[in-house]
Amino acid sequence: MIFGTLIDAASLISICDLSENNMEILKLFLDVFRNRKLIAIITFAESKGKYLCKDDADCLKNALVHMPKLEILDISDNPLEDDAIMSLIPYFLEMSEKHSPFKDLKVESCELSCDEVRQLLSVLSSLIEPLNSLSIGGNDLGSKVGAPLGKFLGTGVLEL
């Protein structure tokens, strides 16, 4: 019943917050919304021991390419690790080639390494329109992230 209602209301949805839910339903939810184009905000926050994992990130990537009006993606507080963020890089690369409303990315405390954050910053630095904000705190950034971070800051990001 819930998914039927969501499908019927999909064109009216501007915020979709999936926190505080069993993330095992993620694949089903994303399959339902895969071809919907009006989702503006997606939040996947930690929820009582249920986490967004790498397999979910692959599914998320496939769904995100069908959401051209996405503005905010919050995948913070999920132990995604490097493989998951690497699976999302193609989405960010695609966004870098077009004028997109995508403006805010939150990947705080996702157990990311310096190398993957450096690669993510490199891709985000190439966006045609800069992000308004990027949240990367709580990851193992290290000093090697300094140069890519400096380049990213030069893009016009408003909040880091």
Q: What is the pLDDT of residue 131?
A: 92
Q: 58: closest CA among 34, 87, 30, 79?
A: 87
What gap in Å lies between CA 131 and CA 156, rounded to an integer? 8
Greater pLDDT, 45 or 153: 153
What gap in Å lies between CA 13 and CA 41, rounded to an integer? 9
Tokens of 2: 């819930």
11 Cβ contact partners less than 8 Å away, ≥ 6 residues apart: 36, 38
Q: What is the pLDDT of residue 40?
A: 45
55 Cβ contact partners less than 8 Å away, ≥ 6 residues apart: none
56 Cβ contact partners less than 8 Å away, ≥ 6 residues apart: 23, 26, 27, 44, 84
Greater pLDDT, 63 or 17: 63
Q: Is the pLDDT of residue 14 over 80?
A: no
Q: What is the pLDDT of residue 29?
A: 56
Q: According to the per-residue pLDDT averaged within each range, which of 6-15, 52-61, 125-134 is highest? A: 125-134
**pLDDT single digits (tens) 86-115:** 988 888 888 778 777 788 999 999 899 999
Q: What is the pLDDT of residue 12?
A: 57
Q: Cβ–Cβ contacts within 10 Å for residue 94, how many?
A: 14
**pLDDT single digits (tens) 20-38:** 555 555 555 555 555 444 3
Q: What is the pLDDT of residue 20?
A: 58
